[in-house]
Amino acid sequence: MTRIILVVFEQRDGVIRQSSIDVWNRAQALKQQGDISVVGIVPGPAGSADEFRKITGDGDILHVDEQGLELCQPQAYADVIAAAAREHSATVLMLADTAFGADLAPRLSARLRASLISHCRSLSFEGDHLLCETAWYAGTVSALLTCEHGTAVLTLAGGRCSASGHDRPRLVPTTLERPEPSGWNPVVEKLVSASSSTQDVAEADIVIAGGRGLGGPEGFGMLESLAGLVGGSVGASRSVVDEGWRPHAEQVGQTGKTIAPSLYVACGISGAVQHLAGIAAAQTVVAINSDPEAPIFRAADAGIVGDVFDVLPKLEGLLREKLAGK
Ligand SMILES: Cc1cc2nc3c(=O)[nH]c(=O)nc-3n(C[C@H](O)[C@H](O)[C@H](O)COP(=O)(O)OP(=O)(O)OC[C@H]3O[C@@H](n4cnc5c(N)ncnc54)[C@H](O)[C@@H]3O)c2cc1C
């Protein structure tokens, strides 16, 4: 029997999130493991052809754009996605492990009477069983979970995943048969972007993050300059956010964002387990810290022991020379 995976795409202001495209690519990779077909759904106004061109692989992508979906209201989304899951007999629903995915997944699980597995790091099919490796206790423990029967709703933790094929999915403007929307959330009237000038730290390919070692909000000027140079975003530890030096939108970790950049540079960050929980999927971690015993070095691929105020300007100077071809 063909198993149907429904991938839920998240969009913000009509722009499809990279984390959702990663989930789609991971679902495509699962097709090698059996008779599996993948369907996507984009609720809301992600209508431009350019947006859809970012997506490759096989399968239909349902695009549902109707009144009430423009504000990313989870209850409205849950109605639409549950209707799509029923219509396509989906047995697995996959969402990115973002704040929005974490809010939506339990609603879908309740509506579909499905099992819910959050923070999946990896997944595979063994016979009829879906096996999910998930992270618990800030990533210090991993558990292998399976759903014995019925539908499963999964949130997938970061992991940049590129498409293997160059096919284009078929885009299907869709209207779904569903009961009158009952639970439109009256609280959301307007979405305001927290930091419109820079890319969301959860989507960025390069993240330059700072901790308490930067001494104050002024220290982040160096990080902004370096991030601007390499086309990255600035991230922050929770201590920094608690101090009010940086906005919560930039916080990385257990109570912040889970990120999956190809390069993560931790500047003056000790590397507490709650912080490391957010960077497990980073491909390369570089740490700059004055304390050679700082735990961040154990999680780093490369480390520089030194004062961040000496190291970062030198690093940026070298990079500028390199980029100028000197
Ligand atoms: C339930 C819970 C959830 C949490 N969630 C998160 C989370 O999501 N994200 C998160 O980050 N934390 C989280 N924390 C907090 C976490 O435990 C740490 O307290 C926090 O990560 C520490 O932040 P920090 O590394 O910036 O500061 P510190 O631990 O104070 O470390 C500062 C580091 O800077 C170095 N340093 C100092 N001066 C310099 C200098 N001039 N040059 C170079 N290095 C220097 C020091 O050697 C030190 O290693 C959570 C905690 C709890 C209990």
On whether both 121 and 216 belong to a single domain, the answer is no
Check residue 183 and give its pLDDT.
57
Q: Within the chain, where are the H helices?
A: 18-30, 49-53, 74-87, 99-112, 220-230, 238-242, 273-276, 296-299, 308-323
Among the listed residues 252, 288, 292, the one whose alpha carbon sits nearest the alpha carbon of residue 268: 288
DSSP state of 252: B
Number of domains in the chain: 2
On whether both 124 and 246 belong to a single domain, the answer is no
- Report residue 313 as tokens: 């300007």
Q: Is 256 in the pocket of ligand 1 (CB under 6 A)?
A: yes
* Residue bearing the CA closest to ligand 1, atom 41: 307
Check residue 209 and give its pLDDT.
98
Check residue 164 and give its pLDDT.
67
On whether both 136 and 249 belong to a single domain, the answer is no
On whether both 157 and 254 belong to a single domain, the answer is no
Residue 100: give its domain's CATH number.
3.40.50.620
Q: Is 255 in the pocket of ligand 1 (CB under 6 A)?
A: yes
List per-block mean pLDDT (blocks of 10 residues) for the chain, which spans 326 residues.
93 86 93 92 80 86 82 82 95 92 95 93 86 84 87 86 74 78 61 68 94 97 96 97 96 92 97 94 95 97 98 96 86
Give residue for tokens 């305001």: 192
pTM of the model: 0.83
Domain presence at residue 197: no
Domain presence at residue 198: no
Check residue 186 and give its pLDDT.
56
CB-based contacts of 196: which residues, under 8 Å, 6+ apart?
none
Q: Is 294 in the pocket of ligand 1 (CB under 6 A)?
A: yes
Report CA-CA distances (Å) from 155 to 42, 171, 224, 262, 306. 16, 23, 31, 21, 38
On whether both 177 and 214 belong to a single domain, the answer is no
Query: Domain range for residue 123?
Result: 3-183
* Residue bearing the CA closest to ligand 1, atom 43: 289
Domain presence at residue 132: yes
254: left (phi over 0), alpha (psi -120 to 50) or beta: alpha
Q: Is 211 in the pocket of ligand 1 (CB under 6 A)?
A: yes
Report CA-CA distances (Å) from 37 to 34, 91, 98, 168. 9, 11, 24, 15
206 CA from centroid of ligand 1 (Å) = 20
On whether both 164 and 110 belong to a single domain, the answer is yes
Domain presence at residue 225: yes
pLDDT in tens, 117-140: 998 988 998 887 889 998 887 778
Check residue 46 and give its pLDDT.
73
Give residue for tokens 């209201």: 73
Q: Which atom of ligand 1 is nearest to the CA of 270?
A: 49
Q: Is 269 in the pocket of ligand 1 (CB under 6 A)?
A: yes
